[in-house]
């Protein structure tokens, strides 16, 4: 489904009703975990897909209350599989325990991996948020259709936020579980080398062209026109590219200086996330040949190409 860009707006008024089983579509139920934070908004949304049998998507953090809420929502039905959109721990930390408790296989897009190798002296800033040791019972492949509960889901590889990110479309319907790739409350964190801005742009183009209109993200509320929102997110990131180039043009030679120029009044927690994503923009523009980056032990220097 093609879409033209519209102004980017965020829904920050979503009421999660944490721990309640909320029917959001025929055969799709949302249960929000109690792990609200500046990075998870109101908490991680877990989804049950199916009617008489179900699949559990993104079981979320290790939390007894959330696990009890999920068990109550499952209500004795057989769980055919536990699916993960990706292996950041706010989505996956409870997956192994619940897979054993529910006697359900664990399916996702392969073990957690970086979008590119670490450079010398480089540290992955979100390494502690990743589930490195989790191994799938089945590695899901882009384009395959699988039976999840008693409904068919189509697997769509959507790397960018991280390398093994997947989105799941309801076959023959207009709903897509978009994970952290497209969210309505904020733009997605892309932190290199865990994620990749080039992959993120490509995945936005991919979902815009898919036949799903309504997105159910893993944080925040439903997105009524997902392709239009994804197009607006793409335009927003393109604007950040231009702002970064302009900051360097005006004399910014470090990522910190560029963030100071682009986000002059934002609080510290926002600026920290902005700096991670700005690093992804730097690598993206370097790959396009628009920026030159000189890397050393003390950091990097930016110049226009």
- In CATH, what number is assigned to the domain containing residue 300? 1.10.10.10
- Residue 166's Cβ-side half-sphere holds a number of Cα atoms within 13 Å equal to 27
One domain, residues 247 and 161: no
One domain, residues 219 and 277: no
Tell me, yes or no, whether 5 lies in a domain.
Answer: no
Domain boundary among 209, 232, 255: 232
b or e along 226-235 (b: 16 or more beta carbons within 10 Å of the residue's beta carbon)? bbbbbbbbbb
CA dihedral 295, 131, 79, 69 (to 10 degrees): -100
Tell me, yes or no, whether 12 lies in a domain.
Answer: no
What's the pLDDT score for residue 5? Answer: 56
User: What does the alpha-carbon distance between residue 43 and residue 220 come to, in Å, rounded to a whole number?
Assistant: 8
Cis peptide bond prior to 193, omega within 30° of 0 = yes
User: What does the alpha-carbon distance between residue 289 and residue 284 come to, in Å, rounded to a whole number?
Assistant: 9
pLDDT in tens, the chain (305 residues): 444 457 899 999 999 999 999 999 999 999 999 999 999 999 999 999 999 999 999 999 999 999 999 999 999 999 999 999 999 999 999 999 999 999 999 999 999 999 999 998 899 999 999 999 999 999 999 999 999 999 999 999 999 999 999 999 999 999 999 999 999 999 999 999 999 999 999 999 999 999 999 999 999 999 999 999 999 999 999 999 999 999 999 999 999 999 999 998 877 777 888 899 999 999 999 999 999 999 987 789 999 99
146 neighbors 140 (Cβ within 8 angstroms): yes
Tell me, yes or no, whether 17 lies in a domain.
Answer: no
b or e along 180-209 (b: 16 or more beta carbons within 10 Å of the residue's beta carbon)? bbbbbbbbbbbbbbbbbbbbbbebbebbbe
One domain, residues 169 and 102: yes
One domain, residues 134 and 283: no
Phi, psi for residue 24 in degrees, rounded to 5: -105, -15
One domain, residues 221 and 250: no
One domain, residues 173 and 260: no
One domain, residues 79 and 179: yes
User: What does the alpha-carbon distance between residue 157 and residue 184 come to, in Å, rounded to a whole number?
Assistant: 20
User: What does the alpha-carbon distance between residue 143 and residue 22 come to, in Å, rounded to a whole number?
Assistant: 28
This prediction's pTM: 0.95
Burial class (CB in 10 A: 0-12, 13-18, 19+), 225: middle
Tell me, yes or no, whether 3 lies in a domain.
Answer: no
Tell me, yes or no, whether 8 lies in a domain.
Answer: no
Q: For position 52, which CATH number holds?
A: 3.60.15.10
What's the pLDDT score for residue 61? Answer: 98
One domain, residues 204 and 269: no
Tell me, yes or no, whether 121 lies in a domain.
Answer: yes
One domain, residues 269 and 135: no
What's the pLDDT score for residue 238? Answer: 98
- How many structural domains comprise the chain? 2
One domain, residues 165 and 200: yes
User: What does the alpha-carbon distance between residue 169 and residue 157 come to, in Å, rounded to a whole number?
Assistant: 11
DSSP string, 114-130: -SSPPPTT---TTGGGB
Tell me, yes or no, whether 295 lies in a domain.
Answer: yes
What's the pLDDT score for residue 1? Answer: 40
One domain, residues 256 and 223: no
Domain boundary among 184, 212, 232: 232
- Residue 226's Cβ-side half-sphere holds a number of Cα atoms within 13 Å equal to 29
One domain, residues 220 and 293: no
What's the pLDDT score for residue 268? Answer: 75
Single out the residue of 110, 74, 75, 78 nearest to residue 92, CA to CA: 110
Domain boundary among 215, 232, 249: 232
What's the pLDDT score for residue 269? Answer: 73
Tell me, yes or no, whether 179 lies in a domain.
Answer: yes
Provide the domain limits for residue 247. 237-304
């Amino acid at each position: 489904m093609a879409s033209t860009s519209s102004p980017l707006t965020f829904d920050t008024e979503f009421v999660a009703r944490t721990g309640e089983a909320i029917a959001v579509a025929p055969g799709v139920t949302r249960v929000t975990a109690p792990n609200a934070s500046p990075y998870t908004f109101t908490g991680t949304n877990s989804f049950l897909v199916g009617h008489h049998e179900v699949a559990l998507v993104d079981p979320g953090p290790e939390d007894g209350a959330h696990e009890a809420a999920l068990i109550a929502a499952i209500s004795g039905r057989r769980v055919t599989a536990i699916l993960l959109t990706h292996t950041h721990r706010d989505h996956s930390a409870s997956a192994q325990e619940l897979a054993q408790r529910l006697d359900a296989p664990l399916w996702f897009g392969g073990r957690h991996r970086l979008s590119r190798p670490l450079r010398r002296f480089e540290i992955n800033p979100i390494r502690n948020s990743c589930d490195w040791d989790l191994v799938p019972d089945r590695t899901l492949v882009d384009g395959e259709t699988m039976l999840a509960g008693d409904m068919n889901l189509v697997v769509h590889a959507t790397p960018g936020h991280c390398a093994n990110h997947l989105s799941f479309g309801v076959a023959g319907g207009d709903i897509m579980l978009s994970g952290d790739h497209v969210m309505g409350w904020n733009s997605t964190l892309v932190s290199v080398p865990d994620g990749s801005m080039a992959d993120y742009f490509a995945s936005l183009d991919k979902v815009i062209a898919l036949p799903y209109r309504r997105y159910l993200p893993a944080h925040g509320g439903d997105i009524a026109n997902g392709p239009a929102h994804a197009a607006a997110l793409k335009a927003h990131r393109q604007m950040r590219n231009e702002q970064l180039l302009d900051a360097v043009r005006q004399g910014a030679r470090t990522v910190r200086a560029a963030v100071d120029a682009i986000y002059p009044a934002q609080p510290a927690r926002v600026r920290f996330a902005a700096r991670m994503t700005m690093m992804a923009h730097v690598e993206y523009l370097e790959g396009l040949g628009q920026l030159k980056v000189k890397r050393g032990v003390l950091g990097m220097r930016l110049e226009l190409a």
